[in-house]
Each structure stands twice: as C-alpha cells, then as structure tokens.
Structure 1
Amino acid sequence: MKYVTYQHPADGARAGFLHGAHIVDLERSCQWAQHKGRCDLQRPLPVALLAFLEGGPEMGARAREIARLLDEVGVEGLDFVLPAHGTPLLSPLPTPRSFRDFYAFEEHVKTARGRRGLEMVPEWYHFPVFYFSNHNAFVGPEQDVPRPRYTEWLDYELEIACVIGKEGRDITPENALEHIAGLAVLNDWSARDIQREEVKVGLGPAKGKDFATSMGPYLLTLDELEDVRDGARWNLTMTARVNGRELSRGNARQIYFSFAELIARASDGVTLYPGDVIGSGTVGTGCILELGTDVHRWLEPGDVVEMEIERLGILRNRIV
C-alpha cells in the first residue's frame, strides 16, 4: 500500500492511499465499503494517517480489503476517489510524533569528515547515533521550501525514512521490522554555515536543521518491498538531482547500521509510538557538503531539488 496525506479542496488534509492513477480517501471509502457489506470494521477509518497508524494492523487490513473491492468494481463515479495528478500531497505525516535522524551511512561520514581534514571517530562504529529534529517543520512533495534568512550555505540530504507503526520499548533487532509501518523518501535540509558553528559548542546540529524536513510522496508498506529485501536492508537505488542534473547516487543497502539496529537503539529504555519517524542519515554522495562546492554551489532560491528512491517515488521541492 502507498499511504498519503492529500489536500482536499474543501476539507483540508485527509488520509488516503494510491490506487493506480487515483487517490482513495480512507475514511469515506470505508463508509462506502461498510454500506456494501464488504468491510467488517465496526468503527470508521480515521481522517488522519497518524490516527490510522495508531489503530494497529486491523486498519491496514481494512484498507487492503477496500483496495481489492475497488479492483472489482472500478473507481468511476465514486466521490471519494480523486485523480492523483493535480491533487496536492502533504508529507504522509504532516506532523509526526517525533523525528530522530541517524548518521548510519559510513561512506557519507568518512567523506564529509575527510573534507574537513578529520579522521573517523572510532566511537561511530560502537553504536548508531542520532539527533532530534523539528517534527513540526515537515513539508511534502511539490511544496516550496523557503531558504532561511540566516544561511548562505543551504544543502539537501538524500535519506530514507522509516515510520513506526507499532508501539514498543527495548525492541530487539530481530523483532524490529514488525514495528515499521513503511518507508519514505526523506530530505533533511541543512544550513551548513550555521551547523558548522553550532557543533563547535558540543551540541547540535539544532538551528542548522530546524527549518524544514521534506518527506514523501507516500509511505510504502514493507510487503511491497519483500522482493528487494536482504535481511533488514533493502536494495533500492537512491538519487538526487538539482535543476535536473544528477549529483548524488547510492543505494539503501549500503547503510552500515540497519533500520533494525536503528530502531533497537532508539527504543533502548524508551517507548517508540506509531507516527515516530526515524531517518537513516545521508547516503554516500548524498549532499553538497560531501560532494564539494566545486561540484555544485550551495542551493539558492529558484533551485529545484528532486530526491528519488526506487519504489518510493520522487520527492520534489523548490527553494524560494
């Protein structure tokens, strides 16, 4: 399933799923299926995707049943079905419960540190590290991203995100995948000049990451990726383009610490909840900081940045 949050022309942000070239509203399609006697869920599906995830596996099972019913009867004339083309999408979770961003691709860490004349920190290999970022600053595909007035060194970061779908604490790596609702493309925008100064103090990054994180265009469930799964990693090509020119290329399977290990670390002594977002950190070659400004200048207003991950779609934003 490909879950989305779309902007309804009259009713605001609503949860749905992609069905071919259409978006199907979750709540209204459930009411329709119940009327037809084809949905045994006693309560309606929620309007918001966060509440949908909080409802547990039963919600996903009902959504799949609705999709099968639509395959049988078609979508023509149904007022809860909108064309995907032209319908604005928000981040799948416009306001996640929390956002932890890890630093899990070795190539990125080595290269970025090497450009600053630094060796690898031995402790990096001991356990995956992360920072908390602003979960209230998520933006979706095709939405403009303002360049903060305080930065001249605006950068993108090509990442993959997992969204937690099942509550858990002290989760083991062996059980971690059952806690994932799905994967999505993530762009962790960075103000590099601000980040460079604040980390010298021994904290952060903070303000250098505070202003925007892009996620989308949809949340893809793991059953759609079983054929490219290798344990707790996925063979998915990752690319980034600026103004149509490819700058970054990597693969999600190159991650040093798997998402299973990231989830285990994040949940050590702490409860994770449905709607928590966990970022992988930047894939190798996945940002201008790593590539160098001789390859591409820092981002400026008017630039269009596209993140693409195989199976997960294209996340496109324009800098303003």
Structure 2
Amino acid sequence: MKLASLKEGGRDGTLIVVNRDLSRGVRASAIAATLQVALEDWSNTAPRLNALFEDLQAGKAANAFDLEVDKLASPLPRAYEFVDGSAYLPHVERVRRARGAEVPESFYTDPLMYQATSAGFLAPRDPIVAASEEWGIDLEAEVVVVTDDVAMGVSPEKAAAHIQLIGLVNDVSLRGLIPGELAKGFGFLQSKPRSALSPVFVTPDELGDSWKDSKLHLPMRTWINGKWFGEAEAGVDMQFNFAQLVAHVAKSRPLSAGTLVGSGTIANEDTSKGASCLAEQRTVETLRDGKPETPFLKFGDRVKIDVTDKAGHSIFGSIEQVVEKYSPA
C-alpha cells in the first residue's frame, strides 16, 4: 500500500491512503488520524489501511478524491528520530581520495551514521531555503526507511522485519558550513537544515522483487534545472543494507515507531551513472581534472528526485524543489 499526509489537521497532517498510480487518495481518519499514530499501533492499523488501499484500487472507497501533490505534506511531517548513514562507500572513498586521505578499515565493517534533523520535514514541493549561496547548497538523493518500535540490541536479521515503509529523501546539505563544523569534532548542526520527503511512502510488498536483502534495487534519478544529473543504482555498492543500519542505530537504545533511517547519498563505482549530490560530482571532477567544475545550487535552481518501476511509473512520487533565498518574516 501507499500512504501520504495532507497539509491539514495540524503539524502532523492528515493520513491518507493513495492508489498505486498516485492519481487518487482517500482519508484514513477512521483508522488513524496521522501516520505517526498508525505506526505506533502498526499491527492493528496496517491491515485496516491495506484493506482501504484495496478498496481504493478497486474504485470502491467512499469519498475518494483526485490526488494533488501540492496539497501534500511529507508523509511524516515531523518525526521523533531521523538517523542518516553513508552506506555507499564509493562516495566516501572518492571524497577522501580527493583530499589525499585513506578510508579507515573500520568503515567497511562499521556504518557511518549521524543524528539528523527530524523536528520538521519539507513537503515534496516546498522550496529549499537558505540565507546565502555561499553556504554551498547541495541536494542529496537518498532512500529512507521507516520502522515500527525496535528493541535495543536487535540483530540485523530481526531488524529487517521492523522496516515497515520505504520512501525517498532529499537530505539537503550546506557544504560551505560542513568543514568548520567537522573541525570541531562534534558533527553536523548548522550544515544540515530540514530535508524533504517523497510524496508517498510504500510498504515493502509494493516493490516486489525490487526490494531484496533490505535494499531497493532501482536507479535513483535526479535532474537539476530539467537536465539529467544522475541515475545511480540504489541496490549496487551499498556496503550496509537497511537491516544492518537499523541494527547499528539500535545497538545502545531502542527506536520509537516512526524512526527514519537514511541510506546516505546513492553512489556507484561506475561514474557514468552520474551522481546523486553535487559534492560527489565535484569530487569526480577534481580527481579527473584537478579541480571541480560543477557549481553548487543557486537561488532559482530546480531539483527533481524520483524512482520509477521497471515500466517507468513513479513509485513514491517525485520530490521537486526550487532553491529560494531566505527572507525573515
């Protein structure tokens, strides 16, 4: 099934069920007011939501309506927790090689992850807002999963069963602010503003054989200003799958229902597939030509992120954003 949230009913939106081709929706308020509420009682709400989804697919759902993406919030407008990884080591290896550093051996056995911003997510058509272009505005096209309640110390094998929903995230980065923050030795803060989520999240069964071994086996397609930028394969070169990432996060603490876990920027050894973030493309150019050529995002630039099935149909809906200059109210 596919789930989304309307921009109504307060900060957490109103939960709706969406049909497979993303053309119709129906409110699920009789089952759960919000997606967060549904996830907190998932064993009871999921079968009822799925029944509503089947009715919607069959044209039997009462009060169904035409879906308008502009009226959607992110499926989870805010969450208790968002942790993001860097599971694609070709990206890590290239970035470190460009600055003359080697990849520590531990990176191949222990995932890189950080605590990300979750107090609010941008809707899939909301602008990327920044105060200055000098901050180095960048997109990061990633896959994200959502869990139910996860016990502390869960094994990767058991963690896989706690992945209930899958979607996309544009994990916006401000590259110009990152070096100063990392130099302090305490991680990201100002360099990681709010991210945008895809219009809908889907259950693993919706992906068929494209969801295997806790990985999404489809290309992540990105465009900047209408021009193709990349289609890196999400199921290739992923050092740690999502079950391993969830288990890594839960090593020392339980996870609450509605926790989001990101893959990190999709990147392949094969650079002909393009890139999923500008920093990656600039690193490829630096290694090849001695200096980067591609600029970071400017005000007025447009980005699009999407994943399609093998027939070319959008699965999660596309994230489409314009970069705007921040103007204080």
TM-score, normalisation: structure 2? 0.85
User: Aligned residues, how many?
Assistant: 300
Unaligned runs of 5+ in 2: 268-274, 286-291, 309-314, 325-329
Find the residue that maps to 2:13 and give its secondary structure: strand
Tell me, in whole angstroms, the C-alpha distance in 2 between the residues paired with 1:163 and 1:65.
Answer: 21
Equivalent runs, 1:1-320 vs 2, <5 Å: 1-8=1-8, 13-19=13-19, 20=21, 21-27=23-29, 44-72=30-58, 74-75=60-61, 78-79=62-63, 81-85=64-68, 88-149=71-132, 151-209=134-192, 211-254=193-236, 255-284=238-267, 285-292=275-282, 294-310=292-308, 311-320=315-324
The alpha-carbon distance between structure 1 residues 149 and 205, as it changes in their structure 2 partners (threshold 3 A), is same
Deviations for 1:260-280, whole angstroms, at most 9, x for unmatched residues?
A: 110111111210111111111
- Between the aligned partners of 1:70 and 1:228, the Cα distance in structure 2 is 23
Per-residue deviation, 1:96: 0.9
Task: Report the AA paired with residue 74 of structure 1.
Answer: K
**Secondary structure in 1 matching 2:72:** coil
- The sequence identity of aligned pairs, in percent, is 24
Distance 1:177 1:12 in 2: 26
Shift of 1:306: 0.8
TM-score with structure 1 setting the length: 0.87
The 1:47/1:151 distance shift into structure 2, 3 A limit, reads: farther
More strand by share: 1
Verify the 8 A CA contact 1:108 1:286 in the aligned structure 2.
Answer: no
Q: Distance in 2 between matches of 1:204 and 1:8?
A: 35
Q: Deviations over 1:288-311 (max 9, x none)?
A: 111117452110111111111233
What is the alpha-carbon root mean square deviation over aligned residues? 2.1
* Aligned counterparts of 2:88 and 2:201: Cα–Cα separation in 1: 22
Letter in 2 for 1:15: L
Question: Structure 1 residue 166: deviation in Å?
Answer: 3.4
In structure 2, what is the equivalent of residue 32 of structure 1? none
| Structure 1 range deviating more: 59-68 or 1-10 | 1-10
> How far apart, in 1, do the equivalents of 2:204 and 2:115 lie?
25
- d(CA) in 1 for partners of 2:10 and 2:104? 52
Q: Please, which runs of 5 or more residues in structure 1 have no aligned partner?
A: 28-43
Quote how far apart the aligned CAs of 1:145 are: 1.6
